[in-house]
Each structure stands twice: as C-alpha cells, then as structure tokens.
Structure 1
Amino acid sequence: MKNTLLFDFTVDKSTNTVFVKREFNAELALVWDAFTIPEILDQWWAPQPWKSKTKYMNFAVGGRRFYAMVSPEGEEHWSVQEFTAINPKTNFEFYDAFTDKEENINSEWPSSDWDLNFSKQDGMTTVHISIKHKSLADLEKIIQMGFKDGFTMALENLDQYIEAQFKLRKQNRTSNKARVSSYLNFDGKTEEAFLFYKEVFKTEFIGKGIERFGDIPSDAGHPPVADGIKKMVLHVELPIIGGHILMGTDAPKEMGFTLTKGSNMHICLEPETRNEADRLFNELSAGGNITMPMADMFFGAYFGEFTDRFGINWMINYQNKD
C-alpha cells in the first residue's frame, strides 16, 4: 500500500532554511505528544537502526532536552534542544546544537533554530517545520550529512509507532457493550505470561489471538520492524473470570520503552457512551496526572489516558460505531 500522506521537504539557500511539511493520520493531541513527550520521542526520533536516548527533558520555555543518537554498536552522538517558545497544541520552538556527553555545545558543528506548527483537519494533523541555520555553509553541511534521508526515516518511524499503538484496538473491539480490562506491559515476556494465564483460567485468546510486531505491514508508509522485536507481542486479549479481560503488549527497549513497577499496568474502561467516557475520565483524573487528554483518534475511538491521584494508571476507550 502506497503512503499518500503529504510530505514536502524544501531547501531555501537564500535564507539558510529547511522547510518540512508533513501530514499524519492521527488527531493533533496524539501527534503533539509524540513530539513533546520523551518516552515517545525516543521511539521514533532516530533513523533506523540508530536509536534515540533522552537523558533528561524539561518541556518548558527555558528548559532542555538532552539526548543521544545511539548506533547498534553503542556509538553515541549527543545533542541538546533548548526550548524558546511553547504554545500548547499549536507551536513550539527550540535551539538545536551538537554537544559532547557532558552537554558542552560543539561550536564547530552546525546549530539551528526550529519552529514547529501544528494544525488539524478532518482527523488529520499537519506539522509545518522550519529549520534555520546561521550560514549557508552550515546548511549545506547538514544536508551533506544526510539530514533529509535521516529525518524522513524518523517521521516514517512515527507513522509506524502510531499504527503499532492503536490499529489493533479497533480490530478487537466489535461492539459498544461496556467492559473493563487490565492492560499489561512486559519487557519481552508477554507471550510467556499470557500462555501461563491461559492455562490457569482455562480460556482462549480472543480477537486475532497473539499478534506480533512482525505482523505490521512493511511498505512505503511503514518501514520494516527491527528483526530483534518481530516476534515480540504487539497485542493479545484473554478473558479471565467475571467477564474481565486481560490485554497485553511487549514494550521492547529497542523502541525506547523503560518499564518500572507501577507503570506496566493500566485499568482500561470501555464505556457504552461518549458522555460516560467523559464523565469517567474527568472524575477519575481529578487531582491526578493526565498523560493523554480525551480525543477522537483516527482509528475510530475516543481515547484518553491518565494516572489518578492515588498513583493508579487508567485508560478510557470509547469505540465509536462504524
């Protein structure tokens, strides 16, 4: 399947600026989070087979993201982004420069000023990016280093991340009957765990059974999944007792996940109506930490995610009827 998403990459040597216009098949809130939350950034920002590794990030005016591009052999190239302006869900700007691992800026390498603008229309999100360099020499050097190909690959990684996270939820949700499930994340042990649960509860997997990262289609719009994670579990659902559903996925380090106790499980509520989804989200999240506000997703669901004031992780997922 050919990727029809808009992508335009223009170099203007008269202003030492690169202009990028890229469309994503997702709601604005999801794309904004993908550009501003370090755990998500690290899953797509680097062109394969390199990986992005954020040491720290403070997404606030005057704050910084300090991160490295890491090769399969462990070679590291460090950079810093200094945030100079933020208008939530609309625009943010930052100064970008190469550094050493102690965060000292390397003045011999090109630096640039980034300006990113987000807009939405009909469930799609377009990101307009301008990247201005200090001199034509700096611009030409970064182009010679392969910036266009590298950034193109990174944006394609983001397409893959979006699909990997959300595509199967619609496939496995066939009605609007309310249900409650627990969503579990494992560091490569999902299959082992769910085969164990299957034996204990003497039930069968529902939906398409065990689906793997390798099942994600590889085409122009979805680059090949790394070999090391192809056999890992993308999604699985198992009924246990009382109508309760266990759902699970692997969260491989190769895609930037770092699991800790307390962050590897969510209670997922799937109410019958959109209004009930809003009520549950608003009341349960009061005083807590909202990680993804309720929003219409391109895969047909109305979805949100948060941690309540007691430290419990929740997902609210209302699946719109086709």
Structure 2
Amino acid sequence: MNPNLLFDFSVNRESKTINVKREFAANIKLVWDCWTKPELLDLWWAPKPYQTKTKSMDFREGGSWFYAMIGPDGATHWCRADYKKIEPQKNFSGLDAFCDEEGNINTDFPRSFWTNSFSANTDRTTVDIVIKYEELEDLEKIIQLGFKEGFTTAMGNLDQYLETQFKLRNELRTDNKARVCTYLNFPGNTEEAFLFYKSVFQTEFSGNGIQRFGDLPADSDHPPIAEAVKNMVIHIELPITGNHILMGTDAPREMGFTVTQGNNMHISLEPETKDEAKRIFEELSAGGNITMPLQDMFWGAYFGSFSDKYGINWMVNYNTKNENSNQV
C-alpha cells in the first residue's frame, strides 16, 4: 500500500465499536466493487493463512452473503452477512455472524453490525468502517483474537499483489505497440510450467527472467512475505510462436487466492491507444460478466477484466506510463 494513503484503526469501548478508516488509490467504483462482488471479495477478505470462498451472494437490501473461511489445514468456518441498507457507491450495512453449512445462524457466537461508508476524492477512495457489538466482552474477544492484524494484512496483501505484478509487467514494456498475450495463473507451480514451455518453444524468458515474491525489497508499508510464498513466481514472460507472449504468476492460497481450471487463463489484449482499449472492452464485454471495470489504475495502467458472453476470460491493458512513446 502507498505509504501516503490513510489507514486508521481505533476501538471505542464506550460505544462498543471498532472504527477503521482506510484509503485506497483507486476510484470509488472499483473500491465499491471490491467490497460487493464475490469474485473480488474472495481475493482479499480472509486474513492469511485463511482464504475466502463464496457459496452464494445476493447483494441487495434483505439479501445475504454466504461464505466460508478455510484454514490451511482445510478446517472450514461458515459465515453469513445479512444486508440491511444499501446506497450504491455510498454505503451499506449488515449483520455478520457465524453459521453452519446450511446458513443457519450459530447463536453461540455474537453478531456484529457493520456499516461501511465510501467517499471519493479525485483518484482516491476512503472507506469508513464501523463495527458494533452488543456486549463489551464480545468486542474485547474479537480484539484479543487479532482482528486488527488479520484485517490489516488481508487488505495490504491484495494491494501489494496487484501493485507489484503490474509494476513488473510495465517495466518490460518500452512502447505501446499493440500485442496479444496469454496470462496464466497457477497455485504454486508457475516455474515448473514455464520451464516446460521454455523447453518446447526453445526461447528465453524476457527481462530478468523469473521474478519471485522473495525478490521484492523489504517494505515497512507492506506485510512481510510469508516463507511459503517467497520462492513463488510473481511475474514471468516467455515469447513463443509468432511473437506471442505467455505471462504467468502464482496465486498463493496464503494470500487468499483460489485457482481452478476455468479461472486461471486470460487472453490479454494490449491496444495501442486508450480509446481503442475502451472500444474493445465495451464491445467484447457486452452480455458478459465484468470482474474489474476498465479504468486508470494506481500502478500506471488503464486496465479491466471480464468474461465474455461465451465464458472466455479477457484482460484489456493499456500502459499509461508509455503514452508518449508512440508519438515519435
């Protein structure tokens, strides 16, 4: 996370609330989507080493989010959030609780009432979170269980993963000539797969070759990299037949990612202009499911992703940092 971004965490025992103020270097629509779309929530909601897996979500007043928190040993804890009030891109509130696999509330545990408010300031968005408990002892228990550390790490890991991955990708681009790539995600065996592809196509990795999570410089503004993740691949590129580029990354479960066949491969389009990126995104995503709206991102790209109406996964990426390179 950018060190200039606001993050404030406080506890008010008199009102029995946890208060969090968190700023993101992204516009309000993207941040709202990250809090309200299950495919994005599953990426960051769980504190490591847990991961989130949504079973169902009906984001509306009176609807609910039914999900599991899965530990590294496979232990599953079911949770349910019941939405009470929603004002799109402004705020939403609801009751959170533990439940069983069928969604029945576990009355042995207290419920917490969340109110999340979103406010925009140019290219930044602030989320104000108030979590209220009925009893002070319930609040104290949550704090003792490490809620602050877990919640902070979950959000920070997603920031770091996105920022670093696209930073490395942009460093390998010196211009904005149009190209098509294929982006692959693996649960931890990216290196094995790309060494195999390298032997088949008899080409060499681009740039500095294999970039690992452990190669990242220490940064006090980001959570430390877990030992199990350090040797994993954060980015790699391999030219194959016809100047096509294979790109890849590991999506560690320690960071809350779940890789399954069908969601681990994207066709990545890199148009020459921002207008062309917008046109392709809008026309190709029509009738499909947008997972990341097309917009300027804090890592220096105009980026979006979606599944088209036939279920094919796409990314559209225009490198805004090289906008002047084509004007020669």
What is the TM-score with the length of structure 1 in the denominator?
Answer: 0.88
Helix, strand or coil for the counterpart of 2:140? helix
Find the counterpart in structure 2 of residue 19 from structure 1.
19
Find the counterpart in structure 2 of residue 268 from structure 1.
268
1:229-283 superposed Cα distances (whole Å, 9 cap, x missing partner): 3222211111223222111122333333333333222111111111111111111
Helix, strand or coil for the counterpart of 2:243? coil
Deviates more, 1:294-303 or 1:21-30: 21-30
Q: Which amino acid aligns with 2:132?
A: K
Q: Which amino acid aligns with 2:306?
A: F
8 Å contact kept, 2:48–2:255: no
8 Å contact kept, 2:45–2:256: no
Q: Which amino acid aligns with 2:281?
A: F
8 Å contact kept, 1:110–1:141: no
Helix, strand or coil for the counterpart of 1:260? coil
8 Å contact kept, 1:308–1:314: yes
State the Cα distance separating 1:136 from its structure 2 match. 3.5
State the Cα distance separating 1:114 from its structure 2 match. 0.8
Find the counterpart in structure 2 of residue 130 from structure 1.
130
> How many residue pairs were aligned?
322
Rounded to whole Å, the distance in 2 between the matches of 1:233 and 1:203 is 19
Helix, strand or coil for the counterpart of 1:203? coil
Residues 279/2 of structure 1: CA separation in 2 closer, same or farther (3 Å cut): closer
Rounded to whole Å, the distance in 2 between the matches of 1:165 and 1:83 is 34
How is 1:285-304 mapped onto 2 (pairs within 5 angstroms)? 285-304=285-304
State the Cα distance separating 1:316 from its structure 2 match. 0.8
Find the counterpart in structure 2 of residue 254 from structure 1.
254
Rounded to whole Å, the distance in 2 between the matches of 1:176 and 1:31 is 27
Deviates more, 1:248-257 or 1:307-316: 248-257
How is 1:130-279 mapped onto 2 (pairs within 5 angstroms)? 130-279=130-279
Deviates more, 1:93-102 or 1:233-242: 93-102
What is the TM-score with the length of structure 2 in the denominator?
Answer: 0.87
Find the counterpart in structure 1 of residue 92 from structure 2.
92
Find the counterpart in structure 2 of residue 52 from structure 1.
52
1:152-174 superposed Cα distances (whole Å, 9 cap, x missing partner): 33332333333344332322222
Rounded to whole Å, the distance in 1 between the matches of 2:305 and 2:116 is 25
Residues 191/64 of structure 1: CA separation in 2 closer, same or farther (3 Å cut): same
Helix, strand or coil for the counterpart of 1:78? strand
Q: Which amino acid aligns with 2:268?
A: C
8 Å contact kept, 2:51–2:253: no
2:58 matched to 1:78?
no
State the Cα distance separating 1:198 from its structure 2 match. 2.0
2:327 matched to 1:316?
no
Residues 30/83 of structure 1: CA separation in 2 closer, same or farther (3 Å cut): same
Rounded to whole Å, the distance in 1 between the matches of 2:312 and 2:72 is 35
Rounded to whole Å, the distance in 1 between the matches of 2:250 and 2:132 is 39
Residues 39/214 of structure 1: CA separation in 2 closer, same or farther (3 Å cut): farther
Helix, strand or coil for the counterpart of 2:209? strand
8 Å contact kept, 1:22–1:126: yes
8 Å contact kept, 1:269–1:317: yes
State the Cα distance separating 1:199 from its structure 2 match. 2.5
1:175-234 superposed Cα distances (whole Å, 9 cap, x missing partner): 111111111222333222222222232222113321122233443222122222322221
Identity %: 61
Find the counterpart in structure 1 of residue 326 from structure 2.
none
8 Å contact kept, 2:185–2:265: yes
State the Cα distance separating 1:102 from its structure 2 match. 4.5
Helix, strand or coil for the counterpart of 2:130? strand
Rounded to whole Å, the distance in 1 between the matches of 2:298 and 2:79 is 33
Q: Which amino acid aligns with 1:278?
A: K
Rounded to whole Å, the distance in 2 between the matches of 1:255 and 1:90 is 28
Residues 88/205 of structure 1: CA separation in 2 closer, same or farther (3 Å cut): farther
State the Cα distance separating 1:303 from its structure 2 match. 0.6
